[in-house]
Structures are given as C-alpha cells and as structure tokens.
C-alpha cells in the first residue's frame, strides 16, 4: 500500500481574507475610530475601503435603493477605485450605470434593470460594461454565497444605533441576505441609515454583522411599486378576474398564492369580497399569501378572507394599516412589518399553490417574455414564482389536482397562470409568431434567449376569450391548439380551427365564460369592492395613507 503523501502547506496563511479586511479598516483610522462615518466623509471612506477589481454588492431592488451610497460610489476617483464587479438585484438609478461610464466599474450581475433597460442594452453594445449573468432574485442571492461572494456590501436601513445595530422595519427586503453574504466571509458591510438614534424600535440586523454606518443626507429612495388605482381597472380585466376565480381558484381549491403586479390581479383581489363571496368561496380559497402589501387587498382582509401574508417588501402608505393588523401580517414586537425578499421568494417558489402573472408577448408554445427590442431588462422575481419547482414534495389539493395521468409515480404541479388580454395597448398583439426576446438575446449575445416564463411551466392561460387548461393537454399539438383557441384575432389566434376548438371545449381543455356560468355583461366595475384609492382608504378606516401621486381627491 502506498500512503498518499500529503504535503501540508506549512507556509500558507489561512486568514488572508480576515487580514486583508483588517488592513483596509486600519486605513480609516484618520476618519473614524468606531462604526459611525461622518456623512461628508463617505467618498473618502469608499476610496479607502474599496480596491480595484472588488466585487461590490450594492443594495437596490425594484422598491428600495441605497441611493446615498450609490451616489457616493459614483463620485469616487476612478483612478483609485476601478474595475469593480457590481452585484445589484436591480439596476434602477441613473448613477448605477454612471459607474460604468466613468470606468469605476466594468462588470455587473443583476436580476432586473427595467428602469435602465435601454442604457444597459446600449452600454453592452458599446462595450462599456460586461454582464456576468441576468438572474432571478433567488439565483442572484444564492450566488452571493457560492461564487459571487462580495468584498463590500453597501446597504440601506431606516435607523441604526451607534453599535451598528440596524432597524430595517417594513422595508427589510434583501438587506439581511446581502449583509450575511459579506459579513461572514470577511467582507466589509457599510449601511446608510436615515437616522442614528439611541434606541431602535427593534433590531433587524445585529451590529456585529455591520462594520460601518453613515447617516444619509436624505432618506433612501423607496418606490410605491405595488399600488394600483382601482379607477383604472377595466371591465375586460374584471371579466378575466371572474373567470380566474371560478375557473382556476374555485375549480382547483387554491388556498395559497402569489400575485404579480398588475390590474388583472388587482381586479381579482377586489372581487373576493363581492363576486367570490357570493359564490360561497370564503374560507375555501385565497387564505395564505406570499405578496407585497397590495392596497387592493385591503377589502378582502377587512372582510375576513385572508389568514396570512408574508411580504417581499413594504409598500409606501401601508405602514399604519399593517401595524393595526398583526394577525394577518408578519410584524415585529414594535408592531411594524418585517419583510424579507429572499424568504418570501423562496416561499413563493416552493410553498404556494399558484402564481398569476402577465406578459407582453406569448408565442404559440406558451413561452412568454416582457423583453422588447433594444432593451435588456431581466425579470426579477417573476421566473422564481412562475415555474414549477420540480423538487417539491408536500401536497395540497390544488397541487394534486394538476396530476393528469395514472402513473403511480405521478406528482402534482404548481399552478402557473398567465393572464393576458390578446392585444396590448397600441394595438400590438400579445400572441406572436416569435418572441422579440429571441432577437434581443442574439443581439446582446446572451447564452440563452431572455424568456420570462417557459411554456412548459404554464398550467393555465386566461384571456378575455376564455381559459386554456394547458396542464391537461397531452401533446404539443394539442397545447398549441388550446392556446390558439383563446388567442382572439392575433396572428396565432387566427390559426385556430373552429371544429378543433369546439372539441377542446367538450374535453374541458378550454372554457369560455359561459362554460363557467359567467355572463360577459355581468363584468361591471360595480362589482369591485373598491373603485378608487379613496374607497381603499375608507375600507382601511383611514389607516392606509396613499402617496401623493395616488391622491386625486
């Protein structure tokens, strides 16, 4: 036997990361001897702590932004701080891309860039940046712990004490995840805070995970992204919502779910206390939610429909209402909401029965994308929610209901519902021969076309024409026929064969409103539990305080 010769690396240090961090922090001795950085020194501090080529995670999702730190980072001297590899859930603010124009950063990994999608595409074309990958939220968070571990994390919190304990409150969102990835592998954590106070309402992130805090010159940017004014809900959207409630939620006994952003889903939320209540569905469906605190859910909550809601983030104006409804929302001992984007994304992926989303384009196989020509946006969380996680084991009635075979090993499926009108505004057909995403993927030299939700994951398609029960189809040909049957007068819809559609209807693969006992003429705005933001405020007993842009009265 030949024993393996193990050459121990006697000379190797096993603490290089820790030593490097200490050395960087020593460089700050002239500026601070504790954790508090003076506001006006932030640019100096970043120039000292961040080294060329560092991987830097900068907090910013579609709602909350570490805006003071992003501005400071874009003001550093590009001679000192350069070639950074940025990791950002969302590329949202103008200075996020100024970093690349100024040659401070050169590479980016992200999940969503909707607000900067033209510039991202242009700068990629101009070779002003390189893209590591366009991820889903969960993927990006996952990689922070594997091969994209940050050297520096720049995050935002509401309040801090001088020990660096952070209160992130309703807008905790992704902060704990970003901090954890840096803090426990000798990265440096810098938090901008709106206030430094003696007492915190509660500690969301312990001070020992945080290296520095800095009071920002103004509060971090926060967008009310999930507020939909019921005034803008159309009768077609109400019709589609009625069909979804009857033909999907009731049919499959959907108890736990996630709704995307949009007027379609807002319509469903506002029909629960009226239309669905009349059907006797209260307590049978829609009890548990992974959802941002949508104001349009207030009437359903007030009517006793909702048992629990776990939130990705907060929603501006909903703070007081949430504090007064701790039986429904996750709240801390101080009373305020605790959100967590990572955990809610995971819950929405694995623990709920159903996801409803919408799209700008769908091809004949049911693949969908919101990508349009010349833009590069990513999809954030939609692909996390909008797929069937194959590893799931626990069963629920809705999940089991998707079994469509006698196979003894058959398993259920998550319900992935796409809800679209056949034409977008501007008379553009939603159902198309080929997704723009295919061309965009080629132009941007992406490894795969930027598809938001794959046709293979979609179980239901709801349009103003009817519902296609795609999970029931047993061939691609049948699936295409089902999609075409509800695709209206779009190019795909015109391929429909009337006889075939009638057969699909008899087989229960498509359902028209009348098959669900819904009269098109019944789809009236008077069915909505609230028809305006003002009425939402009334439902909340004055606790909901909508942001100025939603106050029209």
Partner 1 sequence: MSIAFLCPGQGSQQPGMLHRLPDHPQVQKTMNDAEDLLKKDVFSLDTEKEFQSTTAVQISLFLWSIAMYRVFRAEGVKPDMAAGHSVGAFSAAVIVEALSFKEALKLVRKRGKWMEEEHPSGYGMGVVTGLSYNQLKRLLKEHDSNKTVYIANLNADDQFTISGSQTALDVFLKSASNEGARKAELLNVTVPSHCELMRDVTKKMRQALNEISFSRPKIPYAGNAIARAFLDAERIREDLAESISKPVRWNETVHLYYERGARLFVELSPQAVLSDLVNKTFPEARAISVSNGLENCLFLLERYNRKS
Pairing state between β 361-362 and 368-369: antiparallel
- HSE-CB for 202 with a 13 A CA cutoff: 13
Stretch of 62-70, 423-431, 463-471, 507-515 lying at the interface with partner 1 (CB under 8 A): 423-431
Could you say whether residue 115 binds partner 1 (CB under 8 A)? yes
Binding mask 126-165 for partner 1 (x = CB under 8 A): x---------------------------------------
Among 373, 395, 497, 552, binds partner 1 (CB under 8 A): 373
Stretch of 60-68, 117-125, 242-250, 356-364 lying at the interface with partner 1 (CB under 8 A): 117-125
- Residue 465 to residues 223, 276, 329, 495, Cα–Cα distance (Å): 34, 20, 36, 15
Residues with Cβ within 8 Å of residue 181, at least 6 apart in sequence: 57, 141, 144, 145, 149, 150, 153, 187
Under rule CB under 8 A, how many of the chain's residues touch partner 1? 15
> In residues, how long is the chain?
553
Taking the least distance from each CB to partner 1, the nearer of 308 and 373 is 373
Could you say whether residue 118 binds partner 1 (CB under 8 A)? yes
Could you say whether residue 19 binds partner 1 (CB under 8 A)? no
Taking the least distance from each CB to partner 1, the nearer of 91 and 528 is 91
Could you say whether residue 345 binds partner 1 (CB under 8 A)? no
Taking the least distance from each CB to partner 1, the nearer of 57 and 360 is 360
Could you say whether residue 122 binds partner 1 (CB under 8 A)? yes
- HSE-CB for 70 with a 13 A CA cutoff: 28
Could you say whether residue 30 binds partner 1 (CB under 8 A)? no
Could you say whether residue 218 binds partner 1 (CB under 8 A)? no
Could you say whether residue 547 binds partner 1 (CB under 8 A)? no
CB of 375 to partner 1, least distance (A): 9
Closest CA to 371 of 356, 87, 362: 362
Binding mask 383-422 for partner 1 (x = CB under 8 A): ----------------------------------------
Could you say whether residue 427 binds partner 1 (CB under 8 A)? yes
- Please work out, in degrees rounded to the nearest 5, the angle formed at the alpha carbon of residue 212 by the alpha carbons of 206 and 213: 85
Closest CA to 311 of 296, 332, 295, 290: 290
Query: Cα separation of 450 and 436, whole Å?
Result: 9
CB of 491 to partner 1, least distance (A): 11
Closest CA to 259 of 302, 228, 234, 233: 228
Q: Reduced to 3 states, what is the DSSP secondary structure of residue 390? A: coil
Map 2-14 to HEC letters: CCCCCCCCCCCCC
Among 374, 500, 512, 515, binds partner 1 (CB under 8 A): 374
Among 147, 406, 426, 498, binds partner 1 (CB under 8 A): 426
Interacting residues with partner 1 between 74 and 113 (CB under 8 A): 93-94, 97
Query: Cα separation of 83 and 78, whole Å?
Result: 9
Among 428, 477, 502, 552, binds partner 1 (CB under 8 A): 428
Are the beta carbons of 508 and 270 closer than 8 angstroms?
no
Taking the least distance from each CB to partner 1, the nearer of 375 and 460 is 375
Query: Cα separation of 35 and 239, whole Å?
Result: 56
Could you say whether residue 31 binds partner 1 (CB under 8 A)? no
Under the rule (CB under 8 A), what is the footprint of partner 1? Answer: 93-94, 97, 115-119, 122, 126, 373-374, 426-428
């Amino acid at each position: 036997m030949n024993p393996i010769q193990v050459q121990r690396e006697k000379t190797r240090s096993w603490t290089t990361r820790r030593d490097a961090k200490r050395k960087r922090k020593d460089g700050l001795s002239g500026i601070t001897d504790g954790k508090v950085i003076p506001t006006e020194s932030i640019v100096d501090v970043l120039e000292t702590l961040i080294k060329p080529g560092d991987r830097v995670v900068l907090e910013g999702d579609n709602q909350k932004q570490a805006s003071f730190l992003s501005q400071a980072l874009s003001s550093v001297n590009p001679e000192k701080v350069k070639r950074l590899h940025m990791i950002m859930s969302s590329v949202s603010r103008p200075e996020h891309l100024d970093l690349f124009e100024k040659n401070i950063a050169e590479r980016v990994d992200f999940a969503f860039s909707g607000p900067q999608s033209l510039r991202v595409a242009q700068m990629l074309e101009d070779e002003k940046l390189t893209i590591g990958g366009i991820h889903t939220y969960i993927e990006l968070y996952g990689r922070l712990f594997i091969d994209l571990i940050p050297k520096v994390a720049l995050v935002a919190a509401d309040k801090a004490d001088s020990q660096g304990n952070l209160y992130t409150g309703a807008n905790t969102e992704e902060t704990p995840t970003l901090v954890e990835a840096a803090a426990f592998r000798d990265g440096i954590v810098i938090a901008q805070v709106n206030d430094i106070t003696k007492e915190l309402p509660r500690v969301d992130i312990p001070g020992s995970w945080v290296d520095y805090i800095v009071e920002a010159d103004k509060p971090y940017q926060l967008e009310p992204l999930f507020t939909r004014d019921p005034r803008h809900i159309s009768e077609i959207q109400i019709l589609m919502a009625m069909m979804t409630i009857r033909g999907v939620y009731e049919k499959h006994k959907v108890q736990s779910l996630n709704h995307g952003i949009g007027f379609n889903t807002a319509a469903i939320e506002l029909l629960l206390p009226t239309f669905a209540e009349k059907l006797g569905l209260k307590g049978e469906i829609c009890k548990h939610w992974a959802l941002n605190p949508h104001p349009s859910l207030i009437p359903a909550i007030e009517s006793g429909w909702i048992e629990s809601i776990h939130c990705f983030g907060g929603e501006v104006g909903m703070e007081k209402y949430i504090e007064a409804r701790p039986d429904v929302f996750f709240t801390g001992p101080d009373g305020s909401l605790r959100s967590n984007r990572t955990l809610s994304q995971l819950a929405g992926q694995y623990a709920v029965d159903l996801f409803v989303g919408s799209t700008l384009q769908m091809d004949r196989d049911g693949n969908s994308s919101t990508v349009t020509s010349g833009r590069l946006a990513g999809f954030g969380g939609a692909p996390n929610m909008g797929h069937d996680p194959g590893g799931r084991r626990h069963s629920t009635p809705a999940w089991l209901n998707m079994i469509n075979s006698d196979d003894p090993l058959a398993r259920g499926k998550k319900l992935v519902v796409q809800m679209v009108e056949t034409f977008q505004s501007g008379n553009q057909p939603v159902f198309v021969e080929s997704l723009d995403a295919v061309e965009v993927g080629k132009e941007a030299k992406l490894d795969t076309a930027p598809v938001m939700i794959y046709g293979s994951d979609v179980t239901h398609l709801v349009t103003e024409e009817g519902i296609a029960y795609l999970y029931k189809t047993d061939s691609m040909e049948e699936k295409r026929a089902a999609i075409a049957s509800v695709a209206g007068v779009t190019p795909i819809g015109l391929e429909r064969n009337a006889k075939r559609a009638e057969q699909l209807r008899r087989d229960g693969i498509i359902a028209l409103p009348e098959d669900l006992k819904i009269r098109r003429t019944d789809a009236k705005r008077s069915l909505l539990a609230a028809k305006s933001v003002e009425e939402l405020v009334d439902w909340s007993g004055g606790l909901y305080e909508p942001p100025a842009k939603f106050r029209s009265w």
